[in-house]
Structure 1
């Protein structure tokens, strides 16, 4: 069965308030707009996913909520995983390899550099840097447990589009 993986980097987060912990950083207002637009783009690409996994950081939780709303995905069904915060390619790959094969369309909302590194590792493509509210769409035919180095096809890397400032 075909598997589709949608790797999402959280939208733009506030980097001006040094009084809060990193895990508690909220999205900026532009970040909230970008996350909602990303959800609309994703709805056109995949409809409703079978599963959404998210980091526990505030910025990923908010991004996930805004995306899930656009996808018609019940937010109570999102799996929030502490392992996705300050993650690595190895940890993300383990999470993917442990997915149940009944889930054919999976969204993971997490952080850089892990999202970029994982996308490049499993696809062999050079992406460079997944931007905030960026989306990497990957496909694979087989079982989640089989995904490894260069086993997935990069369908497309979607960057957020903002209107030019005047």
Structure 2
């Protein structure tokens, strides 16, 4: 793969979590979250992107979200459950993405707010269609995702380097 070929990143927030008496890391999905995760998976499949790599937080709710969403994709990408995604800032997530091997073209990152939304906003130097306006208006509710593209190598990913091409959030 050459550096000139565009790369794509999907930033996917976990679906709605329940609030049982467990640690934040161990919170499971709520019933609505399980439904929204599957719907989000179908919407991800509709993008036609073949993901090479999934970086998923180790939190229970992100792992459950990914398990339900990936079931809807035509092909399962290599999945890495990454502790550094949990409670990560946008800068920490950029540093993690900068470590992505050059042969990887399409990455999906399954994480948490405020990091995921902040990262989408920071990376988006431009936008296509009404995706930026919809993301700004809706924010980044549970199970939402943003699709960004950029040119270059992963180690060159930095603020403003990407274009927000799609945004999706479940209806409320």
Q: TM-score, normalised by structure 2?
A: 0.87
Contact 1:53 1:107 in 2 (8 A): yes
Q: How many residues align?
A: 159
- 1:104-153: CA deviations, max 9, x gaps? 11100000000011111111466443110000000011111111111100
Superposed displacement of residue 67, structure 1 = 1.3
Task: Find the counterpart in structure 2 of residue 42 from structure 1.
Answer: 44
User: Which runs of structure 2 are paired with 1:86-125 in the superposition (5 Å)?
Assistant: 86-124=87-125
Aligned-CA RMSD value: 1.6
- 1:2-32: CA deviations, max 9, x gaps? 10100000000012x2x20001101011101
Q: Distance in 2 between matches of 1:70 and 1:47?
A: 13
Structure 2: any 5+ residue segments left out of the alignment?
127-131
Work out which of the residue numbers 35, 60, 65 in structure 2 matches 1:58.
60
Q: Distance in 2 between matches of 1:81 and 1:4?
A: 19
Q: Distance in 1 between matches of 2:48 and 2:36?
A: 18
Contact 2:49 2:106 in 1 (8 A): no
Q: Distance in 1 between matches of 2:9 and 2:119?
A: 11
Which 10-residue stretch deviates more, 39-48 or 24-33?
39-48
Structure 1: any 5+ residue segments left out of the alignment?
none
Task: Find the counterpart in structure 2 of residue 133 from structure 1.
Answer: 143
Q: TM-score, normalised by structure 1?
A: 0.90
The alignment partner of 1:70 has SS state of coil
